Amino acid sequence: MSETLDVVDQIRATEDSLEVGVYPKREVNIVRGEGAILWDDKGNRYVDCVGGQGVANVGHCNPLVVKAIEEQAKRLITCPEIFYNDKRAELLRKLVEVAPAGLRRVFLCNSGTEAIEASIKFARLITSKTDIIATVRSFHGRSMGALSATWEKKYREPFMPLVPGFSHVPYGKIEPLRNAITENTAAILVEPIQGEGGVHIPPAGYLRELRQLCDETGVLLILDEIQTGFCRTGKFWGGDHEGVRGDIMALAKAIGGGMPMGAVLIDEKFGELQKSTHGTTFGGNPLACAAAIAAIQFMQDNKLEERATEMGDYLRSRLEPLAEKGDVVREIRGRGLITGIELKQKVVPYLKALLERSVLALPAGPNVLRLLPPLVIEKADLDFAIEQLIAVLG
Ligand SMILES: *Cc1c(COP(=O)(O)O)cnc(C)c1O
């Protein structure tokens, strides 16, 4: 590699030539993080409204998470589920403590798509039925089962045929759902707020009606709380906004304080599932469990859901004028610290303009700009991000 290439060019050349190429990339080499701030190799500082794509709720390198990882790394890193483990047991108790009442059986895995995959399999096991109803604009992951539940055509089409038995109905409406239920329906799978699909908040009462429909028909409700869970939306769980819990709940993203982890919680009324029907080598590994215990404890001790509400309301109140008069913004949606700014144009040039102004943000579909900052973001840093958003979108 030429010595005239700077660090970013070298890193870029390496990743571009050695990765399979499925990821669109930004022109920045991120090397360090703290709270809601990231730094590149030249020492430039960025306000991070990507938050590891909704992972870094407790902040980058949260000191309690770092300490828990350091201590656990010296004791035991890997330990499969065929053995009992102290850290795993501690995390299980912590998870059912924060979970909605009744969700007291846990399966630990390593990512969101795995949590969805397991949720689908558990719904089939529990009901002895095959079919899953998901929603238009849903995102549930990329493995073949999770992808079958995901709506977006460009993710699905290259991989047809997918798993049979999946259908999609409009999000936020109950009647189409009622009509889609058949004798083969095992479960309805929904996000309390659609994240990747464009930050869509369902009409008030939707989740409650969904719960009621499931209770009436015996169809299981699977809530995908992978993005909405762990205080992101201003409540501990997205379903808490309507006091609604799933029979099955899929978790990932923020659960491990940045460590890769996923989990599925199922209602205790289902009892124990049959031995050896599912499993994963890394699931419940002590290192991820130690990080998750620290992350969840931090969320509880700091009431992160309240902070998300306060900061999110403030953020949207300052951005709202953009939607009222600007030529660029169509609508601003959000709850807590998940915010979608729907544009009248394609979003990618605006993401680049923000990067040049030291703010990192995400897309959610072709024309929605999504903000998922760490929930610990300082007011001054949020103000900086707001000023850059106004400059770029105003
Ligand atoms: C991110 C996400 C997934 C997939 O999680 P991965 O860890 O990327 O596999 C599934 N559902 C929702 C709602 C998500 O936001």
> What integer is the mean pLDDT of 302-326?
96
- pLDDT (tens digit per residue) in 43-79: 999 999 999 999 999 999 999 999 999 999 999 999 9
Residue 342 Cβ < 6 Å to ligand 1:
no
Measured in Å, residue 54 CA sits from the centre of ligand 1 at: 9
Q: Active site residue: 48, 131, 224, 381, which one?
A: 224
Residue 100 Cβ < 6 Å to ligand 1:
no
* φ/ψ (deg, to 5) at 253: 40, -100
Q: Is 166 designated active site?
A: no
Contact status, residue 283 vs residue 134, Cβ threshold 8 Å:
no
Which segments of 268-303 does DSSP mark as H helices, in order?
Answer: 286-301
Residue 1 has pLDDT above 50, yes or no: no
Give the pair of three-digit tokens for residue 253: 């993203």
Give the pair of three-digit tokens for residue 230: 């762990």
Residue 117 Cβ < 6 Å to ligand 1:
no
Residue 370 has pLDDT above 60, yes or no: yes
Residue 194 Cβ < 6 Å to ligand 1:
no
> What integer is the mean pLDDT of 212-241?
98
Residues flagged as binding site for pyridoxal 5'-phosphate: 112-113, 139, 224-227, 281
| Rg of the Cα atoms in the chain | 21
Residue partners of 161: CB distance under 8 A and separation at least 6? none
CATH of domain 85-301: 3.40.640.10
- DSSP run (H or E) holding 68: helix 63-75
Q: What percent of the chain has pLDDT over 70?
A: 99
Residue 15 is predicted with a pLDDT of 96
Residues flagged as binding site for substrate: 142, 280
> What integer is the mean pLDDT of 372-379?
98
Residue 207 is predicted with a pLDDT of 98
pTM: 0.97
Measured in Å, residue 2 CA sits from the centre of ligand 1 at: 38
- DSSP run (H or E) holding 236: none
For the ranges 1-10, 247-256, 294-303, which has the lowest average pLDDT? 1-10
- pLDDT (tens digit per residue) in 153-210: 999 999 999 999 999 999 999 999 999 999 999 999 999 999 999 999 999 999 999 9
For the CA of 196, the nearest atom of ligand 1 = 15
Residue 3 has pLDDT above 80, yes or no: no
Q: Active site residue: 122, 131, 253, 381, which one?
A: 253
Confidence of residue 325 (pLDDT cuts 50, 70, 90): confident
Q: Is 139 designated active site?
A: yes
> What integer is the mean pLDDT of 259-281?
98
Closest alpha carbon to 169 in 143, 196, 202: 202
Q: What are the boundaries of each domain within the chain?
A: 85-301
Residue partners of 343: CB distance under 8 A and separation at least 6? 328, 329, 330, 350, 367, 368, 369, 393
Give the pair of three-digit tokens for residue 217: 């028909």
Residue 6 is predicted with a pLDDT of 78
> What integer is the mean pLDDT of 304-326?
96
Residue 252 Cβ < 6 Å to ligand 1:
yes
Q: Is 224 designated active site?
A: yes
Contact status, residue 61 vs residue 34, Cβ threshold 8 Å:
yes
Residue 139 Cβ < 6 Å to ligand 1:
yes
Residue 4 is predicted with a pLDDT of 60
Give the pair of three-digit tokens for residue 301: 């001790």
Residue 140 is predicted with a pLDDT of 98
Secondary structure of residue 255 in the 3-state scheme: helix
What end-to-end distance do the CA atoms of the chain give, in Å?
Answer: 42
Residue 270 has pLDDT above 70, yes or no: yes
Q: What is the overall mean pLDDT for the chain?
A: 97
Buried b or exposed e, range 282-316, using 16+ CB within 10 angstroms? bbbbbbbbbbbbbbbbbbeeeebbebbbebbeebb
